[in-house]
């Protein structure tokens, strides 16, 4: 990888890692579901008027938008609001890699390799340790929600694959049109008008910075940079770099939101990172998928 592209990769993963504690700053002021709705509104507007619509069916845009905005990021934000440390959230979302492998086995008859099996075992141990060390019931619920968001991200990956879209950045912009309305309705259904009527009172410089960072740095810049790397290099060479995201998220959380991981947290982080590292290695297959969409 060229030096300039390696620097870009590190910068992208750093920004994505920073996004987790910076999101927590915004959640101190704004309802998590409303915050997500505002983020995707700014991610879509006014950019859809300047960026050409990707050449895919509308159903893929709608499906990805709802998965990406409602089922993924809204759950991550609710999880963090319930007390999940940003570093843990960034770590658990990496489980999407294993869920994506599972979908590949079930839907596309892909083979499961020994490194992937070993990685799943390591990941399960790390996940169990994270859940056991959870300080409260609310945080445990939050951890489960973040884990569900990882499933959602894996489904989003499958949608990308099935849609065969080439213009990923434009795809994200246009798909961002669809989460805001459902998110606004969910926020109203859960909390009534309170999040909306108090929004003006809670908006300050910190909340605006958090929203701007989530929208323009973590969404626009990172997706542009990441997909540029995927265009220039094999996915197998780019994907492992995402392991840096929870590392940046955990370290930056110490300085941004004063959350210092416990020894158990560091051990679980090391176990899950090891699982992800092992799972991306090449190896011989141990089984062949027996299910397909036709079955």
77 vs 167 pLDDT, higher one: 77
Residues 6+ apart with CB under 8 A from 89: 20, 76, 79, 80, 146, 249
- How far is Cα 130 from Cα 135, in angstroms, rounded to an integer? 10
- How far is Cα 104 from Cα 110, in angstroms, rounded to an integer? 6
pTM: 0.81
Residues 6+ apart with CB under 8 A from 174: 44, 48, 51, 53, 54, 61
**Cβ 88 vs Cβ 271: under 8 Å:** no
pLDDT by residue (tens digit) across 50-91? Answer: 999 999 999 999 999 999 899 999 999 999 999 888 888 888
Question: What is the domain partition of the chain in residue ranges?
Answer: 3-287
For residue 280, pLDDT beyond 60: no
3-state DSSP assignment of residue 45: coil
pLDDT by residue (tens digit) across 183-229? Answer: 999 999 999 999 998 888 888 899 999 999 999 999 899 888 877 78
Give the CA-trace dihedral at 41, 63, 117, 241, to 10 degrees. Answer: -30
50 vs 164 pLDDT, higher one: 50
Backbone dihedral angles phi then psi of residue 133, each to the nearest 5 degrees: -85, 5
């Amino acid at each position: 990888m060229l030096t300039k592209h390696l620097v870009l990769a590190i910068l992208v993963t750093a920004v994505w890692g920073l996004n987790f504690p910076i999101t927590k700053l915004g959640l101190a002021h704004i309802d998590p579901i409303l915050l997500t709705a505002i983020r995707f509104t700014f991610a879509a507007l006014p950019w859809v008027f300047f960026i050409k619509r990707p050449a895919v069916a509308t159903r893929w845009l709608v499906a990805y938008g709802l998965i990406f905005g409602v089922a993924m990021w809204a759950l991550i934000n609710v999880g963090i609001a319930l007390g999940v440390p940003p570093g843990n959230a960034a770590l658990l979302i990496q489980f999407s890699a294993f869920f994506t492998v599972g979908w590949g086995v079930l839907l596309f008859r892909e083979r499961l390799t020994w490194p992937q099996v070993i990685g799943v075992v390591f990941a399960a141990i790390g996940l169990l340790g994270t859940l056991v060390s959870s300080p409260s019931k609310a945080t445990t619920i939050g951890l489960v929600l973040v884990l569900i968001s990882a499933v959602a991200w894996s489904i989003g990956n499958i949608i990308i694959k099935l849609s065969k879209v080439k213009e990923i950045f434009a795809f994200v912009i246009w798909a961002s049109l669809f989460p805001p309305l459902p998110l606004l309705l969910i926020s109203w259904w859960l909390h009534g008008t309170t999040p909306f009527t108090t929004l003006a009172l809670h908006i300050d410089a910190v909340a605006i910075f958090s929203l701007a960072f989530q929208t323009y740095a973590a969404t626009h810049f990172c997706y542009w940079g990441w997909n540029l790397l995927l265009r220039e290099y094999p996915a197998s060479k780019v994907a492992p770099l995402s392991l840096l995201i929870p590392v940046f998220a955990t370290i930056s959380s110490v300085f941004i939101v004063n959350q210092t991981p416990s020894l158990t947290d560091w051990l679980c982080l090391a176990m899950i990172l090891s699982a992800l590292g092992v799972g991306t290695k090449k190896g011989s297959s141990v089984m062949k998928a027996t299910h397909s969409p036709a079955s």
